[in-house]
Amino acid sequence: MSEGATSMRERHEGADMEKEDVVLRVDDLQKRFGGLVATDHASFAVERGTITGLIGPNGAGKSTIFNLISGFYEPDGGRVEVNGIDVTGREPYEIADAGLIRTFQTPRKLEGMTVREAMLVGPRKQPGESFVKLFTDPEGVAAAESANLAEAQRILEEFEIDHLATQPATDISGGQMKLVELARAMLADPEILLLDEPVAGVNPTLRNDLAEQIRRLNEQGTTFCIIEHDMEFVMKLADPVVVLNQGNVLMEGPPDAVQTDERVIDAYLGGDA
């Protein structure tokens, strides 16, 4: 590619930061690995109730941004806000407490657990997660566990995978695992859910299932921010779409506008070089 990073940046109009009800605000985020700039003053905002897509060519820094937002990496500079709370540089669990939950590209299977057991890891602030309460308040623990189990069962039914409940988590397919992961994340009761390539390696049928579930959950009030390589999937689901390139936000817009934008096409073609 002939243009250097600087000239590229000049053409960046960036994201729309003037939104009404913002759940997640990323402001001027920076991250360097050695000499490599992975995130280069990236800013964008996710409005409540949307499904925001995050796309960009390989190496655009999508996964890095997710890791920075969710607390798995510490940013070198910039600011992350969830629900108006500054969570920059916090631990992942503190960010989860602020209402942001994320999933992973390749979910590892929880060995020795059944699907519903794996689901039960989801709910936050379970009384049974306190060692002391196991002995001082076993009834309370049991009550919460029953409630969580019922909730897990309900969500599995909504996802139409309740037949898997007592299967070993290691025995289900990768696509089913992705569904379970999404279902489990819902048990954590997130206000915003970050999905890292939810349909990578998933067959077309399950892909449609996932899309449907995401849309349904969104209608019920969950905000989504999705990284995805599968353009068709993103463009069908997300609005708006934020385009990243070289660690920086190139532009933001509705799917149609993004798909036809020359800079985006340039970036994708350039990404191959």
Partner 1 sequence: MSWLTDPVGEFTDLTRAEQGVTLFVVAFAAFLFIGLLSGGLGPSYFLFLVGLASMYALLSLGLNSQWGFTGLINFSVAAFFGIGAYGTVLLSASSSPVREALLDAGVPGVLLNPVVGLVVAIVVAGLIAVAIGIPTLRLRADYLAIASLGLAEVIRLIVLNQQDWTNGSAGVRGIPSFFVGWPVLSDFPSAMPEVVVDLVPGGSVTLSPPLIDWGLTFGQDIVLGTPFWRALLNVSLVLVFLGASYGVLRRVHRSPWGRVLRTIRADEDLARALGKDTYSFKMQSFVLGSLVMALAGVFYAHLNLYVSPGDLDPITTFYVWVAVILGGSGSNRGALFGGFVVVAIREGTRFFSDLGSIIFDVGSTEVVISLGIEGGPMRLLLIGVIIVVLMRFRPEGLLPPQRELIWPGTVDEVPEGPDVGVRDARGGTDE
Partner 2 sequence: MPLLEYLANGLIFSSIIVLGSIGLSLVYSIADFANFAHGDTMTIGAYTALLTFGAIGSLGGAVLGLPFGFFVALLAGIAVAALVAVVTERVVYKPMDVGSIGMLITSIGIAFIYRAILQLRFGADFTRYDVQTLRPIEWLIPYGIRITEHDVAIVLSAAILVTGLHLLLQYTDLGRKMRAMADNPELARVSGIRTDRVKLWTWVIGAGLAGAGGVFLGLYNQLSPRMGFSLLLLIFAAVILGGIGSVYGAMLGGFLIGMINQLMPILTDYGIPIGIEYANAVAFVIMVAVLLVRPNGIMGEAT
Chain residues binding partner 1 by CB under 8 A are: 70-72, 91-93, 96-97, 101-104, 107-114, 116-117, 120-122, 124, 126-131, 134-135, 141-142, 144-146, 149, 165-168, 170-171, 184-185, 188
185 binds, among partner 1, partner 2, none (CB under 5 to 8 A by kind): partner 1
CB of 93 to partner 1, least distance (A): 5
DSSP tag of 18:
-
Provide, rounded to whole angstroms, the least separation between the CB of residue 224 and partner 1. 15
Task: Name which of 207, 203, 147 is nearest 182 in CA terms.
Answer: 207
Residue 63 interacting partner from partner 2, partner 1, none (CB closer than 5 to 8 Å by kind):
partner 2
> By C-beta, is 8 or 144 nearer to partner 1?
144
Rounded to whole angstroms, the Cα distance separating 33 from 55 reads: 21
* C-beta of 219 vs 272, nearer to partner 2: 272
The interface partner of residue 124, options being partner 2, partner 1, none and the CB cut-off 5 to 8 Å by kind, is partner 1
Could you tell me the smallest distance in angstroms from the CB atom of residue 125 to partner 2?
24
**Cα 175 from Cα 73, distance rounded (Å):** 27
70/176 with CB nearer partner 2: 70
Residue carrying structure tokens 């794996």: 118
- Sites of contact with partner 2 (CB under 8 A): 33, 63, 67, 72-73
> Which backbone phi and psi does 125 adopt, to 5 degrees?
55, 45
| Token code pair at residue 234 | 């993103």
CA angle 250, 51, 256 (to 5 degrees): 55
- Considering beta carbons, is residue 171 or 232 the nearer one to partner 2? 171
Neighbours of 144 (CB within 10 A): 18
Residue 135, amino acid: F
**Phi–psi pair at 37, nearest 5 degrees:** -85, 115
